[in-house]
A and B are shown apart, each in its own frame.
Chain A
């Protein structure tokens, strides 16, 4: 079965600083990968998804970007953080044989001050 790692677990950054969050997956190959943001412990907002290396789809225009340099690595970045970027960032994986079931990582708590 797959395991999803995210780091860092928590991050406090000043406004205007850059961001890099990393997600890596073990136990599966060629998965679909997803970045979500959750604000205030409620709804999930899908930010980006990827069906393969170098293939990124953006769901909403915003201050963030994503990259997939390797099959099981998914990176969320920003050049300059905004206060509104604060939230809980979740990486998810769909291994392709689970009827659409996504499996989630432990998340990264980002606070922008």
Chain B
């Protein structure tokens, strides 16, 4: 069955330092993988996705993610963190069947960037 794991509840990083938010997945077939960000009391915002092609995917706000098939990972990265990046981040994998098309989300990782 499709699943996504975000092993860290919270990630703390100093402003200007690189950041990584981890995600591993379990799927049958080729994965469609996503990252979303959520600011307090707001809906989720789409950051980036991997479907096929280049393993390094670039997205909004300077974020990128690296797809690693052998490690079944899709970690979110940013070379230099900003205080405004502090938010809740969700990794997701697409699940499709005969009459189903949905995203399976991880439990979320809270990113705290300190000035």
Contact = CB atoms under 8 A, between A and B. Distances in A.
Given A99-B32, A100-B34, A34 B102 contact: yes
Contact of A106 (B36, B43, B106): B43
A46 interface: yes
Nearest to B9: A42
Contacts of B83: none
A87 interface: no
A51 interface: yes
Contacts of A94: 101
Q: Is the interface of B mostly helix, strand, loop or mixed?
A: strand
A60 to B, nearest CB: 13
B101 A100 contact: yes
A35 B23 CA distance: 24
Interface of B: 32, 34, 36, 40-46, 49, 51, 88, 90, 94, 96, 99-103, 105-108
Given A88-B41, A99-B32, A101-B46, 16 more contacts: A41-B88, A42-B88, A43-B105, A43-B108, A46-B102, A92-B44, A100-B34, A100-B49, A100-B103, A101-B34, A101-B49, A102-B103, A104-B44, A104-B45, A107-B42, A107-B43
Interface of A: 4, 32, 34, 41-44, 46, 49, 51, 57, 88, 90, 92, 94, 99-107, 109
